[in-house]
A and B are shown apart, each in its own frame.
Chain A
């Protein structure tokens, strides 16, 4: 059965209708819960003044830095751990210990270490995606079929070629899952990170809206966060069609 394009927006239409009806029916104060119309107006104002774009750029800038830093360090580190059993024995307990500590618990640490500005936020993003990414990469590397490693040995590939041409692509499907999930986490954490120590970004927009008792702006901020999250996920899913990844889906 073909999935129509309109199917994916059906649920949005329903929720907006319910929202509108509820607000009108019970005469909810716009200071508590503004209706879709008011939020739409707030969104338009923010967009027209250019403030919204500035906030979006500020957030994306921090997420990009934090995410790239974590991916660029976590993948090599995860490959190292996945390849060497003794390294895994040494580092794995530490990773499993640090992983469940919420990035939010690191906020005071981040502030004291990095002060005010972009850097504590970037640090928090980095932390939130680093450990899961290491674990995904590590388990991807551990799961590489023995046959592929034997092919690499048999054709005399050097250690570096073996890592780049065989282990990395063989682990790539799992790494891409990790990339997708950690990007989601990074975006999740940015809002919390921006509620402290910065004067820009979507997280700041929400905190600022609350302080000014502008619930319409708070909800507008939430909507923009959701939409960008959707776009990021859509973008990163493009990775799943690369030849390095698609083989695992097509094989049987």
Chain B
């Protein structure tokens, strides 16, 4: 008899709750908490992510998407609830699960290559290590800029270097917190295309925060829409449309409209 193994979820988040004490003197936006008050950010977050999938998180700014991803990555602790990766509870950061940061996560005193080398530390053979570094630098199109410091690179190149540093570890999971948020429109679209290539070339499970609805619809196998603070999962959408996706017609256009409504937008369409 053939035995079926239940496919395990890569990431499972169970009833996650997090609050913190507001430290900003001035309220950042109308919905935010008063100074020194306890502020509930995440309230009972539940979802599952399949191995090898591309999951996008959407939500209004300040809703706690970043906090959520940082808890999943093991940088911060939840007040209540659990994060399971491969069925095991997350207790801290792991070099199998790499985080691509919202602001510049490259170490500014290291060159592009030295930064990429942070990710190649697991390769013991020095020759193989340096040839791998070269391969990944070439893959993200940074050849000729290896010895530049981050401040000498453009915004897009910095993002690419950080992606190369993450991918060279052959990560099991890739966390990306609005990685392209600060880029100009065209560079952003280029990076979006490159992310699709990355997703097809690597087996990594990707958890990707964005505030761009179209970006989520273009990239995601799963889209998790979060509400305002205290944040809950408002919608958990699975979509399996092939790439490249045309958002202007058919099922995807319907879905796009739906997501815009979920985000509280009615007129901007």
Of the candidate stretches A147-155, A210-218, A230-238, the one touching chain B is A147-155
**Binary interface profile of A, 137-161, with partner B (CB < 8 Å = 1, else 0)?**
0000000000110110111110000
CB distance from A142 to the nearest CB of B (A): 16
Q: Which residues on the A side are within 8 Å of B103 (C-beta)?
A: 147
Please tell me which one of the listed residues B93, B104, B151, B169 contacts residue A153 in the complex, with CB atoms under 8 A apart: B93
Complex CA–CA separation, A148 to B99 (angstroms):
12
Please name the residue on chain B nearest to A248 by beta carbon: B108
The answer to whether A247 has its CB under 8 Å from any CB of chain B is: yes
The answer to whether A5 has its CB under 8 Å from any CB of chain B is: no
Complex CA–CA separation, A243 to B108 (angstroms):
9
Q: Which residues on the B side are within 8 Å of A248 (C-beta)?
A: 108
Give A113-153 interface residues, CB cut-off 8 Å to B. 147-148, 150-151, 153
With A247-B149, A247-B151 already in contact, the answer to whether A153 and B108 are too (CB < 8 A) is no
Please tell me which one of the listed residues B93, B101, B152 contacts residue A147 in the complex, with CB atoms under 8 A apart: B101
Please tell me which one of the listed residues A150, A170, A251 contacts residue B151 in the complex, with CB atoms under 8 A apart: A251
With A155-B121, A166-B107 already in contact, the answer to whether A150 and B99 are too (CB < 8 A) is yes
Q: A156, A170, A248: which has the most chain B beta carbons within 10 Å?
A: A156
A169 touches B75 (CB 8 A): no
Q: Which residues on the A side are within 8 Å of B75 (C-beta)?
A: 150, 153
Please tell me which one of the listed residues A155, A166, A170, A251 contacts residue B95 in the complex, with CB atoms under 8 A apart: A155
Q: B107, B150, B152: which has the most chain A beta carbons within 10 Å?
A: B107
B151 touches A155 (CB 8 A): no
Q: Which residues on the B side are within 8 Å of A155 (C-beta)?
A: 95, 98, 118-119, 121, 169
Complex CA–CA separation, A163 to B154 (angstroms):
29
CB distance from A127 to the nearest CB of B (A): 31
Q: Interface majority SS on B: helix, strand, loop or mixed? A: loop
The answer to whether A189 has its CB under 8 Å from any CB of chain B is: no
A243 touches B109 (CB 8 A): yes
Complex CA–CA separation, A150 to B99 (angstroms):
9
Q: Which residues on the B side are within 8 Å of A151 (C-beta)?
A: 99, 101, 105, 107, 118
Please tell me which one of the listed residues B95, B109, B150, B152 contacts residue A154 in the complex, with CB atoms under 8 A apart: B95
Complex CA–CA separation, A156 to B95 (angstroms):
6
The answer to whether A191 has its CB under 8 Å from any CB of chain B is: no
Q: Which residues on the B side are within 8 Å of A157 (C-beta)?
A: 118
The answer to whether A250 has its CB under 8 Å from any CB of chain B is: yes
A156 touches B98 (CB 8 A): no
The answer to whether B92 has its CB under 8 Å from any CB of chain A is: yes
Q: Which residues on the A side are within 8 Å of B108 (C-beta)?
A: 247-248, 251
B93 touches A148 (CB 8 A): no
Complex CA–CA separation, A113 to B232 (angstroms):
68
Please name the residue on chain B nearest to A151 by beta carbon: B105
Give B204-227 interface residues, CB cut-off 8 Å to A. none
Q: Which residues on the B side are within 8 Å of A147 (C-beta)?
A: 101, 103-105
B92 touches A153 (CB 8 A): yes
Q: Which residues on the B side are within 8 Å of A250 (C-beta)?
A: 149, 151-152
**Binary interface profile of B, 143-163, with partner A (CB < 8 Å = 1, else 0)?**
000000111100000000000
Q: Which residues on the A side are within 8 Å of B95 (C-beta)?
A: 154-156
A172 touches B151 (CB 8 A): no
A154 touches B99 (CB 8 A): yes
The answer to whether A244 has its CB under 8 Å from any CB of chain B is: yes
Please tell me which one of the listed residues A148, A156, A243 contacts residue B121 in the complex, with CB atoms under 8 A apart: A156
CB distance from A103 to the nearest CB of B (A): 33
Please tell me which one of the listed residues A153, A156, A169 contacts residue B109 in the complex, with CB atoms under 8 A apart: A169
Q: Which residues on the A side are within 8 Å of B121 (C-beta)?
A: 155-156
Please name the residue on chain A nearest to B117 by beta carbon: A155
Q: Which residues on the A side are within 8 Å of B105 (C-beta)?
A: 147, 150-151
CB distance from A22 to the nearest CB of B (A): 51
Complex CA–CA separation, A247 to B101 (angstroms):
19
Give A165-216 interface residues, CB cut-off 8 Å to B. 166, 169-170, 172
3 closest A-B pairs (Cβ-Cβ)? Answer: A156-B95, A247-B108, A250-B151
Please list the residues of chain B having a beta carbon within 8 angstroms of any beta carbon in chain A.
73, 75, 92-95, 97-99, 101, 103-105, 107-109, 118-119, 121, 149-152, 169
A-B contact pairs, 11 of them (CB 8 A): A147-B105, A148-B107, A151-B99, A151-B105, A155-B95, A156-B95, A157-B118, A170-B107, A172-B109, A247-B149, A247-B150
